Amino acid sequence: MAWSRITRGSLTQQTRKTLNNHLHHTITPRTTTTTTHHASLTNIPTKYLSSMGSRGIMGTPHYNFPSAERVVEESDIECENTITRINGLGPTQRGEKPRVVVLGTGWASCRFLKGLDTKIYDVVCISPRNHMVFTPLLASTCVGTLEFRSVAEPVSRIQPALSKSPNSFFYLASCMGIDTDKHEVYCETVDNVGLPQEPYRFKVSYDKLVIAAGAEPLTFNIKGVKEYAFFLREVNHAQEIRKKLLLNLMLSENPGISEEEKKRLLHCVIIGGGPTGVEFSGELSDFIMRDVHERYSHVKDDIRVTLIESGVQLMRGVVKEVHQKKIVLNDGTDVPYGLLVWSTGVGPSDFVKSLDLPKAPGGRIGVDEWLRVPSVEDVFALGDCAGFLEQTGKQVLPALAQVAEREGKYLVELFTRVGKQNGGKAFSGKDIPLGEPFVYKHLGSMASVGRYKALVDLRQAKDAKGISMAGFVSWLIWRSAYLTRVVSWRNRFYVVVNWATTLVFGRDNSRIG
């Protein structure tokens, strides 16, 4: 999705006349005093103008992305005197610090941002959310064990330079494309927010680019999943699950509701037996045993939780279709539900798929042993969106928070080493030794299963020696470990206070919104 430079070309008189007639019917001027147009010549091959504005974010022309302002390329026809600017941050100048652009605010990017030496680099972070989510505790917010702000850490607290340094910025936007030759990324903000031009678009030049754009839930192209199921990866997902859960509980108590409909409303189905599915099931179990039995006594015996996983657990089966009030398994079984949470793992996002970069097995961005994208200069990828290339001989790592965090920490050390040897600028780090390659060692896994019990497995492999246990002691280890991994002392305080409040007073069952 590169934006190449538009040059002024000469037109024959007849060609100019034809083009002007076409423009007259398809282009609407932004104002009566400007020559920049709102273009929609969708049937004509185009190029994008890439002229650069000043170092600050300036106004963006009003056009329909990704078409930008369209010009005729065939038959050497180009629109005379048509110049459009996509403004943003230009290349760093001599005497300025190298600029690192980071895409995303997940585990990998935030660990990298936290450790990056801002005495060496300026940093620009671009993401559609301005916070990091502590995903291991996200399930707890769905039932009120924790408040939502306890699991969200503002990115400006993780890296203060984003709000304090004059040449470091956070931009609330999505990256729509990358030009690795020009060292530019192209971004688009959300629309319908009242900006003069919507959606607002800009570009940012980089010396080093770190792609940590995360992944998207896998739906396996099953019909109805996106329309009717809830995912659990963002704070707003947890908020919607909580509202739906409490709504179903309250509706089920209304007079005249049939027993069949009541049982459907109170049937919570989780698809996927991974850590997220298991922990959400555990939190639901705690919520039902203590809070539902106490505060919804009229329907306490009707609420139930079903975990569906291919091959193992409460109900065997593979989901064939999802409907508004039921799911259909591959054996034809209908499973009515009131709440459906989909947690079957993640895969590459549409953005990652669209990038013209080498791909690792599974569709992730391919990287070498130093987390570099080997086919281009100054581009690194890490976290759920990246995986080792086949020629490295390394297995693609699982999409886990601890993997992403370790990659972010490793990349900090690499960037510090490169920056101290004056390799931070674009195209200047080719001959600088990068040190030891990245090696991941699994630290184990933990999951809460409810009722003050948890599973703890600290073995590096299934058949390796090490600690593997379950029960109350495991639950204490689980809580202690997660508390120490919460990013800030502020959020650790929130978590401890929420846990204590829930223990003494129970969970809040107010439905707001």
State the pLDDT at residue 300: 85
User: Does the pLDDT value for residue 167 go beyond 50?
Assistant: yes
354 with 451, same domain?
no
The DSSP line for 260-287 is HHHHHHTEEEEE--SHHHHHHHHHHHHI
d(CA 3, CA 176): 11
Give the model's confidence band at 129: pLDDT under 50 very low, under 70 low, under 90 confident, else very high: very high
Count how many Cα atoms sit within 13 Å of the Cα of residue 412 in the half-sphere of its side chain: 18
Same domain? For 201 and 340 the reply is no
Q: Are 19 and 77 in contact (CB under 8 A)?
A: yes
Measured at the CA of 219, the angle between CA 215 and CA 225, to 5 degrees, comes to: 125
One domain for residues 225 and 316: yes
Domain co-membership, 108 together with 159: yes
Residue range(s) defining the domain that contains residue 459: 442-508
Domain match, 391 and 472 both: no
Tell me, yes or no, whether 205 and 122 share the same domain: yes
- Tens of pLDDT along 334-350? 999 999 999 998 999 99
Residue type, 70: R
What is the pLDDT averaged over residues 165-186?
95
Q: Are residues 259 and 309 in the same domain?
A: yes
How large is the average pLDDT for residues 398-419? Answer: 95
Neighbours of 275 (CB within 10 A): 19
Q: What does the pLDDT read at residue 83? A: 31
- Which residue, among 428, 427, 400, 228, has the nearest Cα to 326 in the 3D structure? 228
Distance, in Å, from the CA atom of 283 to the CA atom of 286, rounded to the nearest integer, reads: 5
Does 70 score more than 70 pLDDT? Answer: no
Closest CA to 273 of 235, 317, 304: 317
Q: How far apart are CA 164 and CA 162, in angstroms?
A: 6
Span 158-187, average pLDDT: 95
Apex CA 130: angle with CA 125 and CA 133, to 5°? 110
Q: Is the model more confident about 188 or about 275?
A: 188
Tally of structural domains, the chain = 3
Determine the Cα–Cα distance for residues 79 and 71; give it in Å rounded to an integer: 6
Q: pTM of the full predicted structure?
A: 0.81
Is 173 found in the same domain as 93?
A: yes
Element (H, E) at 473: helix 472-485
Least confident of 23-37, 136-150, 171-185: 23-37
